[in-house]
Structures are given as C-alpha cells and as structure tokens.
Structure 1
Amino acid sequence: METIKPHQDIARVLISVLFISLMIIACIWIVQPFILGFAWAGTVVIATWPVLIRLQKLLWGKRILAVLVMTLLLILLFVIPISLLVNSLVDTSAPLVKSASSGQLAPPDLAWLQSIPFFGDKLYSSWHALLDGGGTTLLAKVKPYIGTTTGWFVGQAAHLGRFLMHCALMVLFSALLYWRGEDVADGLRRFARRLASERGDASVVLAAQAIRAVALGVVVTALVQGILGGIGLAICGIPYATLLSVVMVLCCLVQIGPLLVLIPAIIWLYWSGDNTWGTVLLVWSAVVGTLDNVIRPILIRMGADLPMIVVLSGVIGGLIAFGMIGVFIGPVVLAVSYRLFAAWVNEKVPSIENIPTDTPPSSQG
C-alpha cells in the first residue's frame, strides 16, 4: 500500500528562507563596523589565553584582576604605540604639505656634496649646473604633483585613524572575551557540533591551534625584533628611538623587516663621524635582522605546523585586502583554512576494495 506524502507548501518554504536570509543580511549589516575588531580580538584572546590563566593563578584566582592586567598589556602593546605613530605622521607631514601646496618648495643647495673626497666639488658643480640649466623649471612643473602626492599620503591618515578605532574595539572585545571566554568557546563548539558533529568540534580545535601559531610566529617575532632594534637605536644615540621602534614593529609585521629603519640609522652614524657606534649598530642590526629566521619557525611550530608560505601570503594578502588590520586577520584566515583542508584531505576513507558492490548473481546453466 502506497503512503500519500503530505502536500508541501512551496510558497511558505520560500518565504521562510527569504525571511531568514533577510534577517542574516540585516544582522551582518548592523554589526559590520565591529566585525574586524571582533575578529582581531578573537585572535588575540585565543593566542594569549594561556597567559590569562597563568595570571589568574598568580592573582589569587581572581579573574577580574587577570582581565585588568591583560587589558592594560594590550593597551601598552597596541593602542599607545599606534597613537604615537599616527600623531607623529600628522605632525611631521603638515609642514611638508603646506610648503608643497603653497609653492614655497625650493630645490636644495646640497652644500654637503663638497665634503665628499675626490669628486665632491664636481658633483656640487654638476648639481647647480642642472638647476641653472632648467632644473628650476622642471621643479616648477613637478610641484603640483608633489603637493598632490604628499596630500594623498597625508589623506591615508584617515585609514590609520580607522585602524586605531578597530584597535580600540579590539581591546574592548578582548576584555569581554577574557571575562567570558569559557562560555564563548563552549558556544562555538556546540554550534560546530550542530553543523558537523565530531568533525565540527575537531575543526574548532584545529582553528584555535592555527590562530595561536600565527600569533606566536608573526606578532611575537615582530615585537622581539622591534624592541631589540629600538634598544640598539637608543644605546647608539639615534633620535626618536621610540617612534622608530614602532615603525620597525610595523615593518616586521608586514614582513619587510627592521633593516629598513636600521640601515639609514647606520649610514647616519657613519656620516656624522661616529664610527664606533656605527659599527656597534651594524653588528647589532645583523643579529636583529636575521633573528626572524630562527624565532619564527620555532614559534609557529609551537602552535601548529604551518608552511611559511601560508603565513607570509596571509600577511601580505591581508594587508592589501583589509589594510593594517589585515596583517593580523589575513594569516589567521589562511592558516585556519589550510588546517581544515589538510585535515579533510588526510581523513581516512574506506578503500575501494572495501566498498561493497551490487553484482548480479551468476546464472547457472
């Protein structure tokens, strides 16, 4: 006897799906300004969760005290250095924009060329011959473009300001996640189990390992190189050593390295006649510049065994896609995706020999 299937209301199903889709889109639209900050906070909290637990044990088991200490550390490591960098960029660029826009920019005299042995006078004479023979006219034609280009660079301060806003949101969300971290983790694992049962739970664990590996390998290495490079600059008497240390940390985060700051400092020391400190900084820069080749692989393997190309691609691609905050988000996304894909590929599947096949019975003649 055939069972009669109940009639399905297609219109009701379509309207339900449409309503759920609209609600999801509306929720994403509302929380869009906070997504990057929350993702960044999640990365920081997952990477530093063992530190929070240790602090809590040291502070008489008080979670509130550990959260306050971790929040202060995040402010010292992220908010204050980035604020100093933004203010320095704005203060330094304002006079340059004013002179370039008002047409007061004049070609430099370069009198220091005369101090170069053997061919310094010839270089100085050639430079002024170029200016007298049309260099001033060339500079007049280039001035509008100089002003436009400089104004564009200063206009990027808005992006730095947006990055600073995300940084503040990161600190706020991190404090909340530190306070209720176990509940959030339990909710994520429950959601993953609803999606893919045990596989979903294992995927959450793999994602946490990948996030910790990226945080240790990229961020910690950048902090170590930037701080050590800044110590070398301060000892050798380089002005604005604190600001240059922040710049070095950012250069290390985007995988440029600290030598972009250290090499000009070495040249400046030798140029000013301080050969002793120039040599000291040269040796120190050689150590700091190659330190990432030793520290980064060790730290990455402490969290998860990830290929270096995945981490570097995530840093560069994230920087292009999301700006400065992409330095933290990009490698995390690629690392998590790589770990999940590798787990799926390496999952054991039944071999072809063990798959039952429906073969018709042999006919007996």
Structure 2
Amino acid sequence: MISRPPDMPPERPTMPDRLKKQKAASFALYIGLVLLALWVVRDFIAVVAWAGVVAIALWPLLRMVEGNRWFTGRKTLIAAALTLAIALLVVLPVGIGIAQALREAHDLNEWFKSARETGITMPDFIARLPFGVQQISAWWQANLAQPLRDSPAMKGLHSTTVMTLGRQFGARALHAVMVFAFMLITLFVIFQAGPRLSGSMIKGVRRGFGEDGAELLQRMAAAVRGTVSGLVVVGLGEGALLGVAYFVTGLPHVALLGFITAIAAMLPFCAPITFGLAALWLLVQGSFAAAVGLIVFGSIVVFIAEHFVRPVLIGNSTRLPFLLVLFGILGGAETFGLLGIFIGPALMTVLMVLWTDLVR
C-alpha cells in the first residue's frame, strides 16, 4: 500500500463534485427562503386561497367575457366588474340580514322585558299533544311561567362570560371583514392578470414536473370548480325552493330565511337544521299541518339534491367516486374550516390520480 507523503497537499474536489455541492446548497437556500417567505405572509395564505377558489370557479366566465369583441383589451374593466359583482353578492345579503336583525331587535328586547316581569306563556299546542301534556305543563309552570328576573338564565345574560363572548364575536367579525377586503384586492389582481397568469403557472409546473404535473394541476382546478358548482349552485337552489315553501306555509321574513337556508345548504347535511327549526316554529304557533308539510317537502328537496344533483355536478367534473367526494368535503371542512370544503375534493383528486398511476 502506497501512502501519501506528508508534504503533499490534499486532493482538491473535482469540478462535478463542486457543482453538486453548489446545487445542493442552492436548493437548501431556496427552500429556506421559500419557507421564510411563507412564514412572513402566513396571515394572508387564507386570503390568497379564497381568492384562488373564487378565481378558479369564475375562470370560464372570465375567458368568455375576454373573448367578446366589446371587451377586447379591457382587462382592468373586466376585473373590476367581476370583483364588484362578487362583493355585491356577499355584502348585499349580509347587509339585508343585519338590517332585518336590527329591526327585530326592538321586539326581541320587549319580549325579554315581558319574560323578566311576567314569565313566558305556555304555547297552546302543548295542550293538544297526544302524550306528556301534564308533565310538560307542570315543568313549564314551575320554570318558565313565573317572572324570570331572578332566574339563573337571566342573570347569566349580564355576566362577564357573555360580555367576553360578545367581544370575541366582534373581533372575529372584524377579522372576517378584513379577510374579505384583502380577498377582493387579491381577486382583482388575479382577474387583471388573466390568461397570462394561468399560462405562466402551467408553464412553470410543466417545466418542473412535466406533462403529468400540468395535467394534475388542471384536474385539481376542475375539482375546485366542480365543488363550487355542486355546493354553491345546489345550495342556492335548495334555498330558493325552501323559500317558496316558507312563503306558502306563512312563515315571516321569507327572504331572510331562504338566504340562511341557502348558506346552510352549501354545507353537507346542514339544510335540515334550518327548515327543521322553521317547522318547529310553525308547530309552536299551532300550524301542525304546515309544519309536517314543510318537513316532508324539505326532506324531499334535500334528498334529491344531496344524493343525485350534487354528486353528479362534483363527481363528473372531478371523475371521483361519491364516497371520495363526501370524505373530501367533510374531512376538508374539519381540517381547514370552511375553505377546506373546496380544498378537500382537490386533494382527493390528487389521491385518485396517484392511485390510478400506481395500478395502471
């Protein structure tokens, strides 16, 4: 074995080894800088995600408007008009609901004053119940028919816990308003960039991950678009149909109830809560037939929408089985909140593509 003389200098790394180390160091530096940038803008990630969901859902409409000869070269006008339309679709119903709630605040306050001084009168329909009338009447007389000024429930309304909850609700509402405002700004920028933005994203993904990566990105966008159609469009349809039922059964504030039902129907299995409470109100008022009719009609509408219309809209666009669509929506909502309703099916699409490639 020949040993190196002690006075000989150590071997220098060859050029390929040096390039490999430089690439590895550059890659680590890029990853660190990306993570640092994401940490800096962490509070705005949800804003960008919401803007991305809305932009993906409206992208076909944007391309169609841009293709019209009347709007050629007017990207800023198109972006401003679409952003304003989204703002009005959210602000107007919420504003109407707040105005209606403020109008009802006076009557609600008077009802609380009456309950404090004279108690709550037992509804007439309790006497017509087929069973349990005596027990319910005795409990009502002992707990609700007496003046409630000294009851623990009334005292709890003025406790520090309620005030703390009120402040937390106000802070969350202010945060939601700020998120919505920044989302509109981001959405305007995305719309203004238009096809140039989508083209650069596809080009970058194709360069980094090949054609399979570009196809996967397009399928994820289709999954988000299909989820928006399946949840939002079907939810609005359920709200409109049940709004007609509310009007026929004589419920008050039909428009507000229909709007609340439409919002609840966008979430899986939440619409029965709204029309169930409406039916309970009708039952308290003594309208037994109207309450039963509302429950039956609402159950039919929700059954058709949840088991036929919504799976077709979402499943056809994503080519996902209904079970994966359902798990994606519910699991995404549990993991990421409301935004996860749209992210979940997109992630299930990735899972389905990987599984298809694996068994191919």
Class of the TM-score when normalised by the shorter of the 2 chains: 0.7 to 0.9
The 5 A counterparts of 1:132-147 are 139-140=151-152, 143-144=155-156, 147=159
Deviation, structure 1 residue 166: 2.3
3-state SS of the aligned residue for 1:291?
A: helix
Q: 2:121 aligns with which of 105, 110, 128?
A: 110
| Aligned partner letter, 1:263 | G
Q: 1:50 aligns with which of 47, 60, 63?
A: 60
8 Å contact kept, 1:229–1:258:
no
- Closer, same or farther in 2 for the Cα pair 1:140/1:57, shift >3 Å? same
Deviation, structure 1 residue 10: 10
Give the match for residue 91 of structure 2: 79
| Aligned partner letter, 1:169 | F
Give the match for residue 3 of structure 2: none
Give the match for residue 173 of structure 1: 186
Give the match for residue 37 of structure 2: 27
| Aligned partner letter, 1:331 | I
| Aligned partner letter, 2:353 | A
- CA–CA distance in structure 1, aligned partners of residues 268 and 229 of structure 2: 14
Give the match for residue 244 of structure 1: 257
8 Å contact kept, 1:86–1:160:
no
- CA–CA distance in structure 2, aligned partners of residues 91 and 32 of structure 1: 39
- CA–CA distance in structure 2, aligned partners of residues 243 and 319 of structure 1: 25
The 5 A counterparts of 1:297-336 are 297-322=311-336, 326-327=337-338, 329-336=339-346
Deviation, structure 1 residue 85: 5.2
Instruction: State the superposition RMSD in angstroms.
Output: 4.4
Per-residue CA deviation, residues 330-361 of structure 1 (Å, 9 max, x unaligned), is 133332222223223322789xxxxxxxxxxx
Give the match for residue 222 of structure 1: 235
- Closer, same or farther in 2 for the Cα pair 1:142/1:341, shift >3 Å? same
TM-score (normalizing by structure 2): 0.74
Per-residue CA deviation, residues 16-60 of structure 1 (Å, 9 max, x unaligned), is 566545532332233223211211111121122222333445672
Give the match for residue 296 of structure 1: 310
- CA–CA distance in structure 1, aligned partners of residues 347 and 138 of structure 2: 60
Deviation, structure 1 residue 262: 1.4
| Aligned partner letter, 1:213 | G
Q: 1:5 aligns with which of 6, 10, 14?
A: 14
- CA–CA distance in structure 1, aligned partners of residues 144 and 241 of structure 2: 43
- CA–CA distance in structure 1, aligned partners of residues 143 and 292 of structure 2: 36
Per-residue CA deviation, residues 318-341 of structure 1 (Å, 9 max, x unaligned), is 44444xxx32x3133332222223
- CA–CA distance in structure 2, aligned partners of residues 222 and 54 of structure 1: 25
- CA–CA distance in structure 2, aligned partners of residues 121 and 4 of structure 1: 95
In structure 1, runs of 5+ residues without a counterpart are 351-365
Give the match for residue 257 of structure 1: 270
**Greater shift in the superposed pair: 118-127 or 188-197:** 118-127
8 Å contact kept, 2:314–2:325:
no
**Greater shift in the superposed pair: 266-275 or 69-78:** 266-275
- CA–CA distance in structure 1, aligned partners of residues 20 and 254 of structure 2: 69
Q: 2:298 aligns with which of 266, 285, 292?
A: 285
**Greater shift in the superposed pair: 19-28 or 212-221:** 19-28
8 Å contact kept, 1:248–1:258:
yes
**Greater shift in the superposed pair: 77-86 or 330-339:** 77-86
Deviation, structure 1 residue 192: 1.0
| Aligned partner letter, 1:5 | T
- Closer, same or farther in 2 for the Cα pair 1:262/1:215, shift >3 Å? same
- CA–CA distance in structure 2, aligned partners of residues 59 and 282 of structure 1: 50
Deviation, structure 1 residue 11: 9.6
TM-score (normalizing by structure 1): 0.73
User: How many residues are aligned here?
Assistant: 341
3-state SS of the aligned residue for 1:238?
A: coil
- CA–CA distance in structure 2, aligned partners of residues 312 and 55 of structure 1: 33
- CA–CA distance in structure 1, aligned partners of residues 34 and 106 of structure 2: 44
| Aligned partner letter, 2:222 | Q
8 Å contact kept, 2:238–2:302:
yes
- Closer, same or farther in 2 for the Cα pair 1:178/1:302, shift >3 Å? farther
Give the match for residue 191 of structure 1: 204
| Aligned partner letter, 2:255 | T
| Aligned partner letter, 2:122 | A
8 Å contact kept, 2:332–2:344:
no
Deviation, structure 1 residue 242: 3.0
8 Å contact kept, 2:119–2:148:
no
- CA–CA distance in structure 1, aligned partners of residues 288 and 143 of structure 2: 33
- CA–CA distance in structure 1, aligned partners of residues 144 and 214 of structure 2: 70
| Aligned partner letter, 1:26 | L
Taking only the aligned residue pairs, the percentage that are identical comes to 22
Give the match for residue 159 of structure 1: 172
